[in-house]
Amino acid sequence: MIAIYPGSFDPITLGHLDIIERGCRLFELVIVAVVRNPNKTPLFTANERINQIRASTGHLSNLEVDSFEGLTVHYAKMRQALVLLRGLRVLSDFEMELQMALTNKTLSDEIETVFLATSKEYSFLSSSVVKEIARFGGSVDHLVPKHVALDISRCYARTHPGSIPTAQNSTLRMNHSRVDQEG
């Protein structure tokens, strides 16, 4: 059975990866589908997000990464998927996700939505939280794959030079601060 895991993944987080890996244990094929929404201005292009996801999921043999624009149920039908995979973090997610699942059911009776509760260590985590922390100079190395943290750092360095530390850069800055204070 094929499952579609749709989302913006801007950027992909360790919470997303948790859902992807668990979904791959449940389904024959999981297609991570990056939604291209022309009404939003993402941090990364659809191709950059696809590459980030591929680099993060290379160890999974029953996974495909794609992108689409439009209704998720139309994409699912085109890909012959019978399941939409969704992660739930908190109660407010459930309300929104249930509404979306019921709406999708009115569009396609044969497609089911399967909810996976996010592992507790990721229950607070969202792409928005990652971007907020990064925007204000915090390290996101513990929230996203290392290569994604570097991409985020590079992205914000272009718009806010010197404001984005990664764990490695933070250590370097601390060492430089000690030298400055001692010297």
CA-to-CA separations, 152 to 10, 67, 87, 180, in angstroms, rounded: 10, 20, 23, 28
Active-site residue, from 8, 56, 127, 139: 127
Q: Are 16 and 7 in contact, with CB atoms under 8 Å apart?
A: yes
CB atoms within 10 A of CB 51: 15
* 16 is known as an active-site residue: yes
Which H or E element spans position 172? helix 167-182
User: 3-state class of 165 per DSSP?
Assistant: coil
176 assigned to active site:
no
Asked if pLDDT for residue 54 goes beyond 90, the answer is yes
Q: Any catalytic annotation for residue 49?
A: no
Radius of gyration of the chain (CA): 18
Q: Considering the chain, what is the average pLDDT of its residues?
A: 87
pLDDT digit string (tens) for 139-178?
A: 999 999 999 999 998 888 776 555 544 454 444 444 334 4
Annotated catalytic residue within 16, 49, 86, 131? 16
The pLDDT, as a whole number, for residue 174 is 40
Token pair listed for 54: 């591929």
For residue 84, which amino acid is it?
Answer: L
Burial label for 55, CB within 10 Å (0-12, 13-18, 19+), is middle
- The mean pLDDT of 10-31, rounded to a whole number, is 97
Say whether 139 is catalytic: no
CA 34-13-136 angle, to 5 degrees, is 110
